[in-house]
Amino acid sequence: MRLLATVFLLSVMCGTVLAWQASSTEAPPAYPEGYRHWVHVKSGLISPTHKSFASLGGFQHIYANAEAMAGYRTRTFPEGSIVVFEWLEMKDTAGAYEEGPRRQIDVMVKDSQRFAKIGGWGFQRFVKDSKTELAAAPTPQQCFACHDKLKKDGLILSSYRQ
Amino acid sequence: MRLLATVFLLSVMCGTVLAWQASSTEAPPAYPEGYRHWVHVKSGLISPTHKSFASLGGFQHIYANAEAMAGYRTRTFPEGSIVVFEWLEMKDTAGAYEEGPRRQIDVMVKDSQRFAKIGGWGFQRFVKDSKTELAAAPTPQQCFACHDKLKKDGLILSSYRQ
């Protein structure tokens, strides 16, 4: 009985440790290799007249993998959906804007188990063109809180532009 | 001999008629079905401060099919390459621009035989969301003349943004 009790106690502790690791380190979404060849969902732009131009100015493009495209059609995003929000600086030539360097990409990955505590979606931000350098803030919890507040369907706020 | 001469004469005439049809009606490029799922090459924007905003203002997106993507890599565009230049109006909300209705799409198709007289590329412009309504101008010859003047590689002026 002592052995069984010890095994039980250990398994509970391991479970706790694993759960803690999952929620604290969150095994964050990996870099979305090849996303530039995914479907272009839509775009936006923060222009020089916008109050946040200095920090956010430029083009915003959204890309979706095949699973996420199924979600854009049905508004129920299946497991494995990945959506990339790409931020680029811009260059203004007499009112004609061109794309500039990449500021960052924001990645959302649907995995209901792995990200159970933050709405079933993992969040990650990669700096400039880096596939490894991550932005310190916002945290996934902050991402989730804001998306949850603005909730549309499955935390994805955009719609596919036909 | 009279028969042979007549056949010869007819074949020459037919050849002339076919050649005339090819150059005058030009069997223009068809609507590029599914182009919104092709690779997004890059974007630009004509802003409210641009002199041509009234007629051209808004987002410009370029899409390429698989053959054209091979061309963007090698700068030699294979037969069957299709490039779509999409024009959208825009909406300005305190400096944040959103995509508006489609103005038109310009299509380029590589077919060296069919479009031999205009650099091997066919040109077509579809109005708004229509798959059949064509713009009256510019003519394919005008399109070719301008692209030829600005010539980069194979008349394609854009580059793929990584």
B89 lies within 8 A of chain A by CB: no
Weakest-pLDDT range from A64-73, B12-21, B59-68: B12-21
State pLDDT tens for residues B24-33: 456 789 999 9
- How large is the average pLDDT for residues A19-41? 78
pLDDT for residue A161 is more than 60: yes
Neighboring chain B residues of A45 at a CB cutoff of 8 Å: 45, 59, 90, 96-97
pLDDT for residue A151 is more than 60: yes
B100 lies within 8 A of chain A by CB: no
For residues A45 and A90, give the distance between their C-alpha atoms in angstroms, rounded to a whole number: 9
Its pTM stands at 0.83
Neighboring chain A residues of B43 at a CB cutoff of 8 Å: 43, 59, 61, 99
pLDDT for residue B63 is more than 80: yes
Strand partners, B97: A45, B92
Assign B85 a pLDDT band (cuts: 50, 70, 90): very high
Contact call for residues A162 and B86 (beta carbons, < 8 A): no
> A47: distance to nearest CA of chain B, Å?
5
Assign B149 a pLDDT band (cuts: 50, 70, 90): confident
For residues B156 and B76, give the distance between their C-alpha atoms in angstroms, rounded to a whole number: 10
pLDDT for residue A8 is more than 90: no
**Nearest-by-Cβ selection for B99 from A53, A99, A161:** A161
Give chain B as a DSSP string.
-HHHHHHHHHHHHHHHHHHHHHHHT--PPPP-TTGGGSEEEEEEEE-TTSTTHHHH-EEEEEEE-HHHHHHHHHS-PPTT-EEEEEEEEEEEETTEEEEEEEEEEEEEEE-TTTTGGGTTEEEEEEETT-SS-B-S-S-HHHHHHHHHHT--BTTB------
pLDDT at A9: 38
- How much is the mean pLDDT over chain A? 85
pLDDT for residue A96 is more than 90: yes
Assign B82 a pLDDT band (cuts: 50, 70, 90): very high
> B35: distance to nearest CA of chain A, Å?
10
Weakest-pLDDT range from A82-91, B25-34, B58-67, B103-112: B25-34
pLDDT at B1: 37
Neighboring chain A residues of B35 at a CB cutoff of 8 Å: none
B66 lies within 8 A of chain A by CB: no
B91 lies within 8 A of chain A by CB: no
